[in-house]
Amino acid sequence: MTDTPTRQRSLPLARFRRLPSWSMLAAGTFLGGLLGGAYGMLTPPTYTATSYVVAVPTAKSSPDSALGFAQAYGRVATQLAVLGDAQVWAGVPVRTLQHSVRTATSPDAPMVAVSATSSRPDLAVDMANAVSRALTRHADDTSGSTQVRLVQFSRAVKPTEPTSASRAVTALVGASAGGLLGGLALLTRPRKTGQDDDPLPGASVPGPAAATDMRGQR
């Protein structure tokens, strides 16, 4: 007799094999686009403001020295010694500054870019300017030994557009990722064969044929 639980388990696999090849790609793309669009809708937009400071050599220093100290100050800007002063002017905790502020330097110019990201455009401006101000004062305190000063080159201005991805972009990224996963699932899909490995529902398996008495054929 056919094992009924085994036959029942074979039904979903048989239906899965009968699905058209493009169904997995379409389902993955649709679900990915839906999730990506939902993510873009539920995630608040973020804004980025950037201020710039420039390293200026004194009469006892050289431009090459200013360039080297600009690289160093770019790394120091996100340290606790600078952010501890910046939190007073920004009005946010040090942890928020550590999470939101990033710096960038150039190998060709003695300039430090201080960027701050926030869901509030005005807060992004305040954090960027506060860190630049704290970094400039920190550099002034050590200018007697470094012979390099930091000067405010450009203050951060209030951004008018968000820097985070829009809903259309997140939906497109999600659809692409879903289509890729659907393609991978298609590659791992069981191949169709001429006959199913399991018998169809309702079919009976014939019993073994009666063995021939070989002694009667002598």
| pLDDT tens digits, 127-138 | 999 999 999 999
For residue 8, tell me if it sits in a domain: no
In this structure, the answer to whether residues 175 and 118 fall within a common structural domain is no
Domain holding 111: CATH number?
Answer: 3.30.70.1130
What is the predicted pLDDT for the residue at 196? 47
Domain assignment of residue 23, given as a range: 19-43+165-194
Task: Indicate the number of domains in the chain.
Answer: 2
Write down which residue in 122, 154, 186 finishes a domain.
Answer: 154
In this structure, the answer to whether residues 76 and 127 fall within a common structural domain is yes
**Vertex 191 angle, CA 182 and 185, to 5°:** 15
Mean pLDDT of the chain: 77
| pLDDT tens digits, 35-76 | 766 666 666 788 999 999 999 998 888 888 889 999 999 999
For residue 84, tell me if it sits in a domain: yes
pLDDT band per the 50, 70, 90 thresholds, residue 1: very low
Per-residue pLDDT averaged across 102-117, rounded? 93
In this structure, the answer to whether residues 138 and 176 fall within a common structural domain is no
Give dist(CA 125, CA 195) in Å, integer: 69
In this structure, the answer to whether residues 53 and 128 fall within a common structural domain is yes
| % of the chain surpassing 90 pLDDT | 37
User: Residue 12 pLDDT more than 90?
Assistant: no
What is the predicted pLDDT for the residue at 166? 59
Q: Exposed, middle or buried, 117 (CB in 10 Å: 0-12/13-18/19+)?
A: buried
Say if CB 91 and CB 73 are below 8 A apart: no
What's the half-sphere exposure (Cβ side, CA atoms, 13 Å) at 170?
16
Say if CB 148 and CB 58 are below 8 A apart: yes
Give dist(CA 132, CA 102) in Å, integer: 11
